[in-house]
Chain A
């Protein structure tokens, strides 16, 4: 109950932020030269001014910017994201088609980074300043310093071209026509390299945070108390240290959800994944304002949802957080 109240209050606080993001995005996009109709006409191979005017009226681009913004926001209240002139479909449909690869990629990269960051961080902290710590910390630094697009390309060269273990790109193999379990395994195989590429940098961050956090908690008095009670070292770490040490990691997930979504644009481009990131890039090129705004809206919702989960998790982990404070 206490946790739910806290989370709901945080959710309410994020609504004005969402509104500001959308308005800012809308106005910024007006600064870019050309609009949807220009892009459409270019694709059609040109046309006369009358046709352009007709199209502008059809897509509601003939009124002032303020009126367009107002129209967009009032439609948004009914969860209507508008129509994409470029794709000839409602924006909601376009986005829903592109959402699964991105969400799968984010969930797998986040889980990978969190799990291995935790394990490696704990290992490094338990052997602090000895060779396992040095090895893990150095690897972490290398992962952190490597640009993800370069890592992605090198992974393709090594694992796809040279060793031929994994596919170089795409979300699934359309030539095989898999169904059921086989289709899931096929998608999983396609996601291995993108997950590693997107996740490694976050793994490096999590492992540094976890190592530092473990070392700090290990030096606290209650750890000595736990040892004085005669607990085994494993139990001291598992029951007393881990939960306290995980708090900064959990905070970090919420903070980096947006960064991760940004990173997935690069990774989706490198691995030709039909995800939200690629869609955003294409929408910018094609001046597809409605789609772009829809992506911003959905991305913001995604980040808010992740932060909502993180808040609940954090409150569960730390009983000192209360709805009152």
Chain B
């Protein structure tokens, strides 16, 4: 088997806040093959976005990668000099962010922002850069792309802005795009369009995709494999169909049960009781134990890894274990 495109081992990203050390990402490991689509799922504060930022070296202070390894295309990204990492960003490793309202610069035209991205990695004339931008905008489905280059972000709708962000990420044909909840801020109908477009574009260009979302439904329609994160750790991973059909970890079960689509009409939605633990003071054992219906005394110890084929879960009492 060839080496994976991306290999993350024991990644730990901590935030040195005044109140103490917040362990936003605490020992995350996973592999990603070229062209694969990976869903990264979790509640707010589970560390999924910080994992994404860590991959690109975009963790803002007081946050810092304190340990672990990120190997991308055979190169180690943790501890790489900033200039080398910058040369990689946007070219081989791109990112699409959550809120298209805030992620485009309000005072620069779409064309200028995309041309800057082209010229960050290539010596290109303004004309050539704008032509490239127009071509990619057309690919993501923006009509009259060449004319829209001189428009400002406020003249675009939310969905259009996100298409611009996706087009910008695609400019250099990266090997991996990290998409951080790119459809969360959009209407449901627009969400579906963007999802379909993204899937088609990734397949067409062989780009691998890490799709970060709190929404299991969007992930299930898009990803090949899914990672479920809780309190800075991966609690379950596996092929998306199998995980959603029969989750091993009680937390994944809880997430699925709280989806409105899974509920019987007229009945109350089933919630996961309690709230996510503070990242400043994580329990030594399973972080989910205080909210878990299956928890007992054993859960005070760090959970063992349960393997079932290509599936993994970190739990003392997995559901349907060895079934």
Q: Which residues of A approach B to under 8 Å, CB–CB?
A: 220-222, 224-232, 235, 239-240, 243-244, 317-320
Contacts and interface: CB of A to CB of B under 8 A. Distances in A.
A227 B87 CA distance: 11
Interface in B21-69: 56, 58, 60
B116 to A, nearest CB: 6
Interface of B: 56, 58, 60, 86-91, 94-95, 97, 99, 102-109, 116-117, 120-121, 152, 154, 165, 168
Given A222-B102, A243-B107, A229 B97 contact: no
Contact of A229 (B60, B89, B99, B154): B89
A49 to B, nearest CB: 68
Main secondary structure of the interface of A (DSSP, over half): helix
> Which 7 A/B pairs are nearest by Cβ-Cβ distance?
A230-B90, A221-B102, A230-B89, A229-B117, A229-B90, A228-B95, A222-B105
A319 B153 CA distance: 10
A229 B152 contact: no
A221 B103 CA distance: 5
A225 B165 contact: yes
A240 B108 contact: yes
Contact of B103 (A222, A244, A317): A222
B108 A318 contact: no
A225 B104 CA distance: 8
Nearest to B105: A222
Interface of B, secondary structure class, is: loop
A317 B121 CA distance: 27
Nearest to A228: B95
A320 B116 contact: no
Contact of A227 (B58, B106, B107, B152): B58
B107 A317 contact: yes
B97 A224 contact: yes
Contacts of A231: 86, 90, 116-117, 120
A230 B86 contact: yes
A244 B90 CA distance: 23
A224 B53 CA distance: 10
A318 B107 contact: yes
A239 B116 contact: yes
Contacts of B99: 221
Contacts of B56: 228
Contact of A244 (B95, B106, B121): B106
A243 B106 CA distance: 10
A226 B90 CA distance: 9
Nearest to A217: B105
Contacts of A225: 95, 97, 103-105, 165, 168
A231 B95 CA distance: 13
Given A225-B165, A230-B89, A239 B108 contact: yes
Given A224-B58, A229-B120, A231-B117, A320 B106 contact: yes
Contacts of A240: 105, 108, 116
B58 A228 contact: yes
A254 B94 CA distance: 42
A319 B107 contact: yes
A230 B91 contact: yes
A226 B152 contact: no
Given A224-B60, A228-B89, A319-B107, 14 more contacts: A221-B97, A225-B95, A225-B103, A225-B104, A225-B105, A225-B165, A227-B86, A228-B58, A228-B90, A228-B95, A228-B97, A229-B116, A230-B88, A231-B120
